[in-house]
Amino acid sequence: MSTVASLDRPRRWDAPFDPEFPAADIERLLAIAPFRAMNPESFPRSATLPDILRNDTAIRTFQADELIVREGDYGTSAFLILKGRARVVLSPGLPPSAVGRKERGKKSLLRSLAQLWSNPREDEVIARRRQEAEPSRSVFLQDVPRVLGEHKTAAMHAGDFFGEIAALSRMPRTATIFAEEQGTQLLEIRWQGLRDLLKYDPALRAHVDTIYRQRALASYLQEIPFLRHLEPEARAAVEAATQFETYGDYDWSGEYKKLVQAGAAAVAKETTIAAEGDYPNGIVMVRSGFARLTQRHGAGHRTLNYLGAGRVYGFDEIVHNWKNPGAAIALQHSLRVIGHTHVLTIPAAVIERHVLPGLPANQLPPPIIIPGESSNARTPPPQAKSRPTEAATDSALMEFLTQNRLFNGTESMVIDLDRCTRCDDCVRACASTHGGNPRFLRHGPIHDHLMVAQACMHCADPICMIGCPTGAIHRDSFGGEVVINADTCIGCTACANNCPYGSIRMVETRDEDGEPLVAKDQKPLLKATKCDLCLDQIGGPACVRACPHDALDRLDLNTLDPLTAWLNRR
Amino acid sequence: MPRPLQLRRAVLSLLTLGATGVLAHYYPRLAACFPHIVYLSGWLLLALCLGLTAYNLRKKLPFLPLLSSRVWLQFHAYAGLFAGVLFIFHLRFSIPGGAFNLVLAALFLAVTLSGIGGWWLSRVIPRRLTSAGGEVPFERIPVIRRDIRLQAEKITLAAIPEAKSTTLADFYVRELAPAFAARPSFFRHLLGSRAALNDRLAALSEAGRYLAPAEQTRAEQIADLLRARHALDFHHANQLLLKSWLFVHLPLTYALLVFTAVHVLLVHAYSGGAR
């Protein structure tokens, strides 16, 4: 007779950040800033301030020169310095070798082969045991005096917050920070705890927002080519004049689903950052998220491109007007919000005064030619000019990628249906490497002969992570791939519901005897599953290697170049 | 600059042509001075056959870094072609004598031809499926077919109270219900025939003159379902062919390997020390 294993349903704090967090430290933390100023009444009973501190924080002690965070790592926690001093390496950043960045370990050849007989007979078998925490391996910065001499650094003291950019924006760490004093003590707050603290304490939210914006601005402006040549005074003037704006919902999944229902009318429903035909009052730089570049076409709007982080809008028109004050032109395209988009705006007057006079000629954009003036042809859209291959991408494909928000994917599974024989070798390979159950569906939106399959795209903006109460879904610290820790996944379905692409599937779990696992309420215990890009497999994604007809690949759709090259690969 | 696939294709084509040229040039000369070269070509053929069969093993081990499947398939195709040429030399350009050897040769030919046929299908059918639209996973087709039938029945039943008439329902039961319930015609869809669909649409259109306005609206919905069913059946037939040719190629391959093993045993057992 079959028996059904009945277990306690996993809950948010089953796996505290620090299982041995001393109760006395809660009192100590509640007595210091910023927690002292927080109103405990503003927190709900399900997530009280002491509960958050007890379960979502950990006190870490670092030795002198020990690395706390490394530039480029994907981190999901922020830090508050409790005692001692830390130092941030501002510029130039330290090379990966100096900070001991290493790729995630892969299975050995023998362990890979052992999958032939060691895969469980039943699908989705989980051993209900918590993963032993890996012993932390400290990395120490070598030759600190040389680092201090060769790199611009800044000291951080007790009470300073850092790491919140990576934790909140789902982006890699922007700087390396190491402990400067022996015994530097920090409070590490995992992001879901930080999210709750920010949600229920407006003062902390305002404080973190301010420092987040300051730090994001300083590091971001360095990355814009035409701002690199600025003298310190001009840079300060530009920084002071830069305005921050955030559009769209932080969790834009619901908004997107509504827009999908709107169909072709979706473009008109999108918020406009800057409108075609308006006078160019400033340049807009996309800090994170995406924006759609459109142009009026008949009674509608044609998508010309989508702009991701680091792309600039309006610069060409401002340069044109600066060089031709008597023949000023309006903005040639509209910029519309898609998803959750941070933008920085620098007023045109500041650009004209501080940036353009000293800008080397080779950094000036090509002139805009207005039809009927000096030429019959209009220049292509500014973003397309620097990317000749993008010009070859047809407008319908652009609409397809934008309408379905597919540009968000950094490892999207694309299938050439003209070559795909529907043999499902990719699906079988995925199942073989994932305990018998494939992690994707060979099905998804189609444009012409291009299908973007329902496989995790490892998004640039992984909004699936937003609602996860335990942080089970997270970015791999080395490559930034979005992965799920099966040991801390409580099967709450938040990530699956939030994923706009339907790429996360909830599956029923079984014990090692193949019996279904159920909670005490007799409902099945679920876990979230999705493509992990075969991070632990020695050969890389099995789906790509298994395709006999060169029909399947994983591509970064944040820009169009890889897709255009792939579509023209033969 | 040539693209990777083109480059690989060009290199493998040149290698195959080169190997064929070397074979055509040297084999007759070697055969003249080394009469037992047929053993050498036989063993080479066996090695090639085993190498070609190893592709199936590679597919069973997707987690090992054994080169990508596309490289294997390309090698499989070109090595298979070369094996065909070598086989002709091995036979000394003559039809083999004896029933066993004849069956073995026929098996080799069948495996080669089924391989070439499969390659041709894998290049032609995907484009046909893409052009037809309505992409659907093969396993889902029976479910979708049932849904279409249920939807058609629901629409027909809904027309009765709306029009207070059973004309459409009667027509459905008489003409369309068997079509919605029937198994799809495999060969008709492979040939891309729309005759059956056109006949049904014409019959529905003809019935339209006797339908009440409310029924006519429903009849248009049923016409859409007929088209959807046709597209689904087209996918079913073509995807089935794509999946099933391997069920010809693989059993033939294994039969060939068994016959080859016996052939090797027989040849060496009865060679009388000639090898």
Assembly ipTM: 0.88
Residues of chain B with Cβ-Cβ distance to A569 below 8 Å are 3-5
What's the rounded Cα separation, in Å, for the pair A219 and A239?
Answer: 11
With both helix axes pointing from N to C terminus, report the angle between A191-200 and A49-56 in degrees, rounded to the nearest 10.
Answer: 160
- Out of B6, B135, B242, the one facing A421 most closely (by C-beta) is B242
Strands laid side by side in the A176-179 sheet: A67-69, A176-179, A85-91, A152-157
Report the residue count for chain B. Answer: 275
Alpha carbons within 13 angstroms on the beta-carbon side of residue A117 total: 2
Cβ-defined contact of A570 to B135 (cutoff 8 Å):
no
Residues 123-152 of A with CB under 8 A from B: none
Q: For residue A356, what are the contacts with CB-CB under 8 A and spacing of at least 6?
A: A318, A319, A322
Residues of chain B with Cβ-Cβ distance to A420 below 8 Å are 126
By the 8 A CB rule, do A505 and A529 touch? yes
Per-residue pLDDT of B91-150, as tens digits, reads 989 998 889 999 999 999 999 999 999 999 999 999 999 999 889 999 999 999 999 999
What's the rounded Cα separation, in Å, for the pair A258 and A270?
Answer: 11
pLDDT at A371: 60
Q: Chain A closest CA to B260's CA: distance in Å?
A: 27
- CA A89, A93, A96, A97 dihedral sign is negative
Q: Does A533 contact chain B (CB < 8 Å)?
A: no
Residue of chain A with shortest Cα separation from B118: A421
Q: Does A113 contact chain B (CB < 8 Å)?
A: yes
**Confidence label for B172 from pLDDT (cuts 50, 70 and 90):** very high
Report the residue count for chain A. Answer: 570
Residues of chain B with Cβ-Cβ distance to A570 below 8 Å are 3, 5-6
Q: Which helix (H) or strand (E) holds B272?
A: none
pLDDT at A316: 92
Q: Where are the domains of chain A?
A: 14-221, 236-386, 400-567
Token look-up 């004309």 returns B167
Residue of chain A with shortest Cα separation from B236: A422
Higher pLDDT, B220 or A463: B220
- CA B19, B24, B26, B27 dihedral sign is positive
Q: Does domain A236-386 have CATH number 2.60.120.10?
A: yes
By the 8 A CB rule, do A189 and A56 touch? yes
What's the rounded Cα separation, in Å, for the pair B102 and A400?
Answer: 57
Q: Poorest-confidence range of A455-459, B6-10, B95-99, B235-239?
A: B6-10
By the 8 A CB rule, do B204 and B226 touch? yes
What's the rounded Cα separation, in Å, for the pair B105 and A162?
Answer: 75
Cβ-defined contact of A432 to B242 (cutoff 8 Å):
no
- Chain B positions contacting chain A at CB under 8 Å are 3-6, 59, 61-66, 68-70, 72-73, 121-122, 125-127, 129-130, 135, 137-138, 239, 242-243
N-to-C CA span, chain A: 58
Peptide bond into A541 cis (omega under 30): no
Q: Please write down the HEC assignment for all residues of A82-101.
A: EECEEEEEEECCCCHHHHCC
What's the rounded Cα separation, in Å, for the pair B227 and B134?
Answer: 11
DSSP A335-359: EEEEEEEEEEEEEHHHIIIIISTT-
Give me A28's structure tokens.
């100590």
By the 8 A CB rule, do B51 and B79 touch? yes
- Out of A418, A428, A550, the one facing B127 most closely (by C-beta) is A418
The helices-and-strands tally (H runs, E runs) of chain B is 11, 0
Looking at the DSSP assignment, which residues form a beta bridge with residue A88?
A: A154, A177
- CA A61, A65, A67, A71 dihedral sign is positive
By the 8 A CB rule, do B85 and B75 touch? no
Residue of chain A with shortest Cα separation from B70: A548
Cα angle for residues A262, A263, A269 (degrees, 5° grid): 50
Q: Does A422 contact chain B (CB < 8 Å)?
A: yes
pLDDT at A426: 96
- Out of A115, A538, A550, the one facing B65 most closely (by C-beta) is A538
SS3 A74: strand
pLDDT at A377: 40
Query: How confident is the prediction along chain A (570 residues), in pLDDT tens digits per residue?
Result: 455 566 666 777 777 888 888 888 888 888 888 888 888 888 888 888 888 888 889 999 999 888 888 887 777 788 999 999 999 887 777 776 677 666 667 778 888 878 777 777 777 777 654 444 455 566 777 777 777 778 888 888 888 888 887 776 667 787 889 898 899 999 999 887 888 888 888 888 788 777 766 777 777 787 788 888 888 888 888 888 888 777 876 666 676 766 666 665 566 667 889 999 999 999 999 887 888 888 887 777 788 888 888 889 999 999 999 988 888 899 999 998 887 788 889 999 999 999 998 888 888 888 877 665 544 444 444 443 434 344 445 778 888 888 888 988 999 999 999 999 999 999 999 998 888 889 999 999 999 999 999 999 999 888 888 777 777 888 887 778 899 988 888 888 889 988 989 999 999 888 877 788 888 778 888 999 999 999 888 888 999 999 999 999 999 998 888 998 898 876
Interface test with A, best of B12, B69, B250 (most A CBs within 10 A): B69
Q: For residue A494, what are the contacts with CB-CB under 8 A and spacing of at least 6?
A: A466, A467, A468, A469
What's the rounded Cα separation, in Å, for the pair A98 and A131?
Answer: 30
Q: For chain A, what is the largest distance between any 2 Cα atoms, rounded to a whole number of angstroms?
A: 89
By the 8 A CB rule, do B19 and B82 touch? yes
With both helix axes pointing from N to C terminus, report the angle between B213-244 and B141-163 in degrees, rounded to the nearest 10.
Answer: 170
pLDDT at A184: 92
Per-residue pLDDT of B77-91, as tens digits, reads 999 999 999 999 999
- A14-221 CATH pick, 1.10.1370.30, 2.40.110.10, 2.60.120.10, 3.40.50.460: 2.60.120.10
What's the rounded Cα separation, in Å, for the pair A457 and A384?
Answer: 24
Flag whether pLDDT at B275 surpasses 60: no
Peptide bond into A34 cis (omega under 30): yes
pLDDT at A370: 67
* Distances in whole angstroms, Cα of residue A208 to Cα of each of A80, A186, A213, B179: 11, 17, 8, 66
CATH architecture for the domain at A400-567: 2-Layer Sandwich (3.30)
Residues of chain A with Cβ-Cβ distance to B68 below 8 Å are 544-547
Give me A533's structure tokens.
């890009």
What's the rounded Cα separation, in Å, for the pair A284 and A341?
Answer: 12
Rounded mean pLDDT, B36-58: 92
pLDDT at A376: 41
Q: Where are the domains of chain B?
A: 4-133+245-269, 138-242
Cβ-defined contact of A418 to B69 (cutoff 8 Å):
no
Token look-up 């219900």 returns B177
Q: Does A389 contact chain B (CB < 8 Å)?
A: no
Residues of chain B with Cβ-Cβ distance to A532 below 8 Å are none
- Out of A421, A538, A570, the one facing B122 most closely (by C-beta) is A421
Q: For residue A526, what are the contacts with CB-CB under 8 A and spacing of at least 6?
A: A491, A493, A506, A507, A508, A509
Higher pLDDT, A261 or B266: B266
**Centroid of chain to Cα A129:** 30
Give the single-character DSSP code of A297.
Answer: E
Residue of chain B with shortest Cα separation from A426: B62
Cβ-defined contact of A432 to B68 (cutoff 8 Å):
no
What's the rounded Cα separation, in Å, for the pair A317 and A320?
Answer: 5
Q: Does A547 contact chain B (CB < 8 Å)?
A: yes
By the 8 A CB rule, do B156 and B207 touch? no
Residues of chain A with Cβ-Cβ distance to B61 below 8 Å are 113, 116
Give me A471's structure tokens.
């942080």
Q: Chain A closest CA to B170's CA: distance in Å?
A: 37
Cα angle for residues A61, A63, A64 (degrees, 5° grid): 135
By the 8 A CB rule, do A46 and A139 touch? no
* Distances in whole angstroms, Cα of residue A177 to Cα of each of A74, A138, A214: 14, 13, 17
Interface test with B, best of A109, A111, A416, A422 (most B CBs within 10 A): A422
In 3D, which of B154, B149, B145 has the Cα closest to residue B233? B145
What's the rounded Cα separation, in Å, for the pair A292 and A310?
Answer: 14
Flag whether pLDDT at B183 surpasses 50: yes
